[in-house]
C-alpha cells in the first residue's frame, strides 16, 4: 500500500529540512513504523526543493504558498505520479486545497485533526461539500468529533478513528538518580509537576486552589511549575503570596527547554494538568512515557490517553473541590501497580509504534469499506 502524508502548511522561512524534522519530532516518530508495513511518502513544503530517504521513508521537499486560497495544481500532479492508495492530510484549515485534491486524485483521503482556528464562515461551508469525499478523520478521542458531526462537517461517526496526534521520544530515568541530578526534594516529600502555560485554558488557579487545601493534610507536598508564559502569571503570583506559607510548597521554575523535561518527569511523583481543552496533550504523553502518574482534567483527549482513568486520575475541569478529593485519594495509591498500568497504556495506545498500528488499522478498514459495492 502506498500512503502519502501531506501537510499544506508552507514553512516559508525554513530552508533546511533538518529543521523541520526536529520541529516535527513529536508528530513524525511513527513514520519509520508505517514504512515497515507500507510505502510511505511524506510531503513537506518549505523554502527548499529536493528529496531523500530516511529509515525507508521517502521525503519530498517542495515549495508551497502561504495563501489560504492557493490552488496547488502542480503539487497534486506530483502526488498523482506516486499512485497513492491513501492520503493523510494534516489539519482542517486547508479546505480549498482538500476540495481540489479530492477532484484531482482518485485515492482515499483521511484528515488528521490538529488544533488550529477554523473559520465557521469560510472553512466549514467548503468542508461540508467534502463530507462524502473524505473517507476518514483521525482524532485523539472520538468525542472530539461530536461538534463536527453536529455541524454536518463529518458525515457520520463511522468515519472517525482514534489516532493520537503525536507522542514522544522520552524514556524513564531512574527516579533516585533523576532527583539527585536535579537536587530536587527529600525522599519523603510528595513531588508534583506542572508543565504548561499559565493561561485560562490551562487553568493553573484551579490546581493551586486544590493544592492549597491538600498541603493542610499532606504538608510534605511540593508543586514545581514549569511554564513559558501566560496571561495568568500575575494572578498565580498573587494567589501564592496571599496565602501565608504557600510559597514554601510552590516552586515557579519558569521556562525550560523541552529536552530538559525528561529528567523532571522521571524525578517527580505526579504530573498535574487542569486543561479545559487539548487536541492531544503532549506534556501528558511525555509524563506517561517517564512513568509519572498523571492527575488531569477529564477532557476527551486526556480521557483517551489515560484509558478512561485506568492509567491516570481524572477530575472535573475547573473544579478545585473535585481535584482536592482526588488528591486525597493518593494517600492509598499502589504506585507500583499504577506505573505498570501507565506503561501498558503508553505502549498500546500512545507510543509511536502504537500510532502506526492505529493508522494502518484505520486505513485497512477504510479500504475495505471503499471496496464494498454501494447499494
- Report pLDDT digits (tens) over 330-364: 988 999 999 999 999 999 999 999 999 999 999 99
Average pLDDT over residues 232-236: 97
- Cα–Cα distance, 100 to 96 (Å, whole number): 6
Average pLDDT over residues 13-37: 96
Grid coordinates representing 100?
A: 481540489
What integer pLDDT is reported at residue 187 of this predicted model?
63
Q: 336: helix, coil or strand?
A: helix
Residues 6+ apart with CB under 8 A from 371: none
Q: Are 328 and 321 in contact (CB under 8 A)?
A: no
Mean pLDDT check: name the lowest of 46-55, 123-132, 243-252, 357-366.
123-132
CB atoms within 10 A of CB 76: 18
Element (H, E) at 146: helix 146-150
Grid coordinates representing 239?
A: 494567589
What integer pLDDT is reported at residue 188 of this predicted model?
66
What integer pLDDT is reported at residue 192 of this predicted model?
97
Per-residue pLDDT tens over the stretch 53-64 = 999 999 999 999
Average pLDDT over residues 307-326: 98
Domain limits, CATH 3.40.50.2000, in the chain: 2-166+353-371, 175-350
> In which band, very low, low, confident or very high, does the pLDDT at 375 lie, cut at 50, 70 and 90?
low
- Would you say residue 115 has pLDDT above 90? no
> Quick one: 222 exposed, middle or buried, by C-beta within 10 A (0-12, 13-18, 19+)?
buried
- Would you say residue 127 has pLDDT above 90? no
Q: Are 201 and 301 in contact (CB under 8 A)?
A: no
Average pLDDT over residues 206-229: 95
- Would you say residue 373 has pLDDT above 90? no
Average pLDDT over residues 106-121: 85
Instruction: Select the more confidently predicted residue: 123 or 174.
Output: 174
Question: In 45-72, which positions are buried (b, 16+ CB within 10 angstroms) versus exposed (e)?
Answer: bbebeeeeeeeebbbbbbebeeeeebeb
Q: Compute the C-alpha angle 239/237/199, nearest 5°.
A: 95
What integer pLDDT is reported at residue 121 of this predicted model?
72
- Would you say residue 168 has pLDDT above 80? yes
> Quick one: 231 exposed, middle or buried, by C-beta within 10 A (0-12, 13-18, 19+)?
exposed
- Cα–Cα distance, 281 to 102 (Å, whole number): 31
Helix, strand, coil shares, percent, the chain, to 5: 45, 20, 35
Average pLDDT, the chain: 94
CATH number (3.40.190.170, 3.40.50.1820, 3.40.50.2000, 3.40.1710.10) of 2-166+353-371 reads 3.40.50.2000
CATH superfamily of 175-350: Glycogen Phosphorylase B; (3.40.50.2000)
Percent of the chain whose predicted confidence (pLDDT) is above 90:
86
> In which band, very low, low, confident or very high, does the pLDDT at 296 lie, cut at 50, 70 and 90?
very high
Q: Which of 272, 288, 284 has its CA nearest to residue 203? A: 272
> Quick one: 328 exposed, middle or buried, by C-beta within 10 A (0-12, 13-18, 19+)?
middle
Average pLDDT over residues 179-208: 90
Grid coordinates representing 110?
A: 483521511
- Cα–Cα distance, 366 to 237 (Å, whole number): 51
How much is the CA Rg of the chain, to the nearest whole Å? 22
Q: What is the pTM of this model?
A: 0.94
What integer pLDDT is reported at residue 253 of this predicted model?
95
- Would you say residue 123 has pLDDT above 90? no
What integer pLDDT is reported at residue 368 of this predicted model?
92
Q: Which of 223, 218, 225 has its CA nearest to residue 333? A: 218
Q: What are phi and psi of 343, to 5 degrees?
A: -60, -45
- Would you say residue 288 has pLDDT above 60? yes
Q: Are 39 and 4 in contact (CB under 8 A)?
A: no
What integer pLDDT is reported at residue 118 of this predicted model?
74
> In which band, very low, low, confident or very high, does the pLDDT at 229 lie, cut at 50, 70 and 90?
confident
Instruction: Select the more confidently predicted residue: 120 or 70.
Output: 70
What integer pLDDT is reported at residue 129 of this predicted model?
87
Q: Which of 286, 281, 284 has its CA nearest to residue 262? A: 286
- Would you say residue 78 has pLDDT above 60? yes
User: HSE-up of 69 (CA within 13 Å, CB side)?
Assistant: 1
What integer pLDDT is reported at residue 185 of this predicted model?
61
- Would you say residue 193 has pLDDT above 90? yes
Grid coordinates representing 372?
A: 464494498
> In which band, very low, low, confident or very high, does the pLDDT at 184 lie, cut at 50, 70 and 90?
confident
Percent of the chain whose predicted confidence (pLDDT) is above 70:
97
Average pLDDT over residues 116-141: 86
Q: 237: helix, coil or strand?
A: helix
- Cα–Cα distance, 298 to 75 (Å, whole number): 41
Q: Are 295 and 326 in contact (CB under 8 A)?
A: yes
Amino acid at each position: 500500500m502506498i500512503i502519502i502524508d501531506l501537510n499544506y502548511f508552507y514553512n516559508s522561512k525554513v530552508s533546511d529540512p533538518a529543521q523541520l524534522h526536529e520541529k516535527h519530532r513529536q508528530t513524525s516518530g511513527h513514520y519509520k513504523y508505517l514504512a515497515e508495513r507500507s510505502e510511505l511518502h511524506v510531503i513537506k513544503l518549505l523554502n527548499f526543493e529536493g528529496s531523500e530517504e530516511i529509515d525507508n521513508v521517502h521525503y519530498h521537499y517542495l515549495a508551497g504558498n502561504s495563501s489560504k486560497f492557493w490552488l496547488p495544481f502542480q503539487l497534486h500532479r506530483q502526488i498523482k505520479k506516486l499512485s497513492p492508495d491513501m492520503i493523510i492530510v494534516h489539519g482542517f484549515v486547508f479546505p480549498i486545497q482538500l476540495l481540489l485534491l479530492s477532484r484531482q486524485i482518485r485515492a482515499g483521503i483521511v484528515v488528521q485533526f490538529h488544533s488550529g482556528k477554523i473559520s465557521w464562515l469560510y472553512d466549514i461551508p467548503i468542508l461540508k461539500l467534502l463530507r462524502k469525499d473524505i473517507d476518514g478523520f483521525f482524532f485523539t478521542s472520538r468525542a472530539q468529533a461530536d461538534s463536527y458531526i453536529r455541524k454536518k462537517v463529518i458525515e457520520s461517526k463511522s468515519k472517525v478513528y482514534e489516532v493520537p496526534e503525536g507522542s514522544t521520544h522520552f524514556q524513564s530515568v531512574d527516579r533516585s538518580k533523576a532527583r539527585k541530578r536535579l537536587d530536587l526534594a527529600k525522599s519523603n516529600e510528595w513531588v508534583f509537576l506542572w508543565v504548561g502555560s499559565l493561561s485560562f485554558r490551562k487553568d493553573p488557579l484551579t490546581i493551586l486552589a486544590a493544592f492549597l487545601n491538600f498541603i493542610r493534610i499532606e504538608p510534605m507536598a511540593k508543586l514545581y511549575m514549569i511554564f513559558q508564559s501566560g496571561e495568568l502569571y500575575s494572578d498565580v503570583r498573587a494567589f501564592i503570596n496571599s496565602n501565608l506559607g504557600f510559597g514554601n510548597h510552590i516552586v515557579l521554575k519558569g521556562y525550560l527547554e523541552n529536552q530538559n523535561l525528561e529528567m523532571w518527569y522521571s524525578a517527580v511523583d505526579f504530573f498535574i494538568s487542569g486543561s479545559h481543552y487539548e487536541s492531544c496533550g503532549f506534556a501528558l504523553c511525555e509524563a506517561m512515557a517517564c512513568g509519572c502518574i498523571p492527575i488531569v482534567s477529564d477532557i476527551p483527549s486526556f480521557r483517551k490517553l489515560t484509558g478512561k482513568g485506568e492509567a491516570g486520575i481524572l477530575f472535573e475541569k475547573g473544579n478545585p473541590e473535585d481535584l482536592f478529593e482526588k488528591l486525597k485519594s493518593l494517600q492509598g495509591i499502589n504506585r507500583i501497580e499504577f506505573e505498570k498500568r501507565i506503561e501498558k497504556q503508553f505502549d498500546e495506545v500512545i507510543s509511536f509504534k502504537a500510532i502506526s498500528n492505529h493508522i494502518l488499522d484505520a486505513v485497512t478498514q477504510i479500504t475495505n469499506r471503499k471496496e464494498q459495492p454501494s447499494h
